[in-house]
Structure 1
């Protein structure tokens, strides 16, 4: 494993995307635990893409316009659904008033779906991992598995930091309804922008 791989992985993980946005939203609205759970769920959502890349399914996805478009538009629809849910959610304003907690399973399920419904992540793995595996290496598959696990570990740490930082800031904004309203609108707008970016992407 090279320094170049670690640096590239860190940059990719730290770049704001749907997983980072969801981890921040979870930490801000429900605290550090929710932020870390969201980060864990987003990391689990990487596994299907990792498997697809290693087994060669990414090549099929990349070659099949129908498969790519189907997954892409499912992802777009889900991001728009998250934007709508974020706008109508009022629980963040009632955290200190014993609002009904969201189960860990629901947070993880949403986080997993966010990453699973992102065909670009599979293609990213397909294009990213081979660059750091020597051509013709007898243990190429295991090297790709190891690098993928490192990528997942870095992703979890970065997203967890995002969520924990957001949770630390929540006491400064949670009692300000106007701030929370604008934050909800910002998160919703971000989901819409990410959906738009995904919608115009090509395999």
Structure 2
């Protein structure tokens, strides 16, 4: 495992995006357990994109305008829904004292959907993973699977750290209605901004 791969992966994972935003929101609103569950859900959402890249299916998104636009606008619609739900106090910033089994499932599913509905991830892995597989590699698919596993572990760890930090700040937020309102509006605006960014994304 090259240092270049690890450093590049860390930069990509730690960069603020929809997954980081959602994990932070989960930690702020529902606490440490929910933040870890959200990180897990976001990590699971990467699996289809990695599988698509390894199997070559991501090339379809790269070459087919219809397929790319379909996934893209589904992702945009979901991000706008997240923004609306956040403002309505039913989204990721809905305050709960405890996260039960049903809530944990909802947090996980939302995290999975956030990453699945982003076609840029498939294209990213299609371009990213092969760079770290040498031309004379005896088992290139196995090597890509290994690199993908490391990337996923790094994603989960970094997202969990983000979320746990947000959970640590939670007591300072939920006890202050004005701060919570400001945070809710800020997160909603961020979801809208990410949706707009995805809307103008090209293959």
Pairwise TM-score range, normalised by the shorter structure: over 0.9
Q: In the superposition, relative to structure 1, how do residues 68 and 169 fare at CA in structure 2: closer, same or farther (>3 Å)?
A: same
| Whole-angstrom CA distance in 1 between matches of 2:120 and 2:156 | 19
**Mapping of residues 141-152 of structure 1, within 5 Å:** 141-152=141-152
SS at match of 2:135: coil
Does the aligned pair in 1 maintain the 2:33–2:99 contact within 8 Å? no
Q: In the superposition, relative to structure 1, how do residues 93 and 191 fare at CA in structure 2: closer, same or farther (>3 Å)?
A: closer
Does the aligned pair in 2 maintain the 1:39–1:111 contact within 8 Å? yes
| Whole-angstrom CA distance in 1 between matches of 2:201 and 2:138 | 35
| Whole-angstrom CA distance in 2 between matches of 1:10 and 1:170 | 26
- Ranges of 4+ aligned residues in structure 1 off by more than 2 Å: 90-96, 98-102
SS at match of 2:87: helix
Task: Measure how far apart 1:136 and its partner are.
Answer: 3.8
SS at match of 1:138: coil
| Whole-angstrom CA distance in 1 between matches of 2:104 and 2:5 | 32
Task: Measure how far apart 1:199 and its partner are.
Answer: 0.4
Task: Measure how far apart 1:95 and its partner are.
Answer: 4.2
Aligned twin of 2:22? 22
**Mapping of residues 5-20 of structure 1, within 5 Å:** 5-20=5-20
Return 5+ residue gaps in structure 1 as ranges.
none
SS at match of 1:103: helix
1:146-199 Cα distance to aligned partner (Å, 9 max, x none): 000100000000000011000000111211000000000010000000000000
| Whole-angstrom CA distance in 1 between matches of 2:99 and 2:114 | 25
| Whole-angstrom CA distance in 2 between matches of 1:43 and 1:202 | 24
| Whole-angstrom CA distance in 1 between matches of 2:64 and 2:42 | 26
Residue 195 in structure 1 maps to residue 195 in structure 2: yes
Does the aligned pair in 2 maintain the 1:93–1:175 contact within 8 Å? no
Q: In the superposition, relative to structure 1, how do residues 100 and 148 fare at CA in structure 2: closer, same or farther (>3 Å)?
A: closer
Aligned twin of 1:49? 49
Equivalenced residues, count: 202
| Whole-angstrom CA distance in 2 between matches of 1:130 and 1:178 | 48
Q: In the superposition, relative to structure 1, how do residues 197 and 178 fare at CA in structure 2: closer, same or farther (>3 Å)?
A: same
SS at match of 2:16: coil
SS at match of 2:121: helix
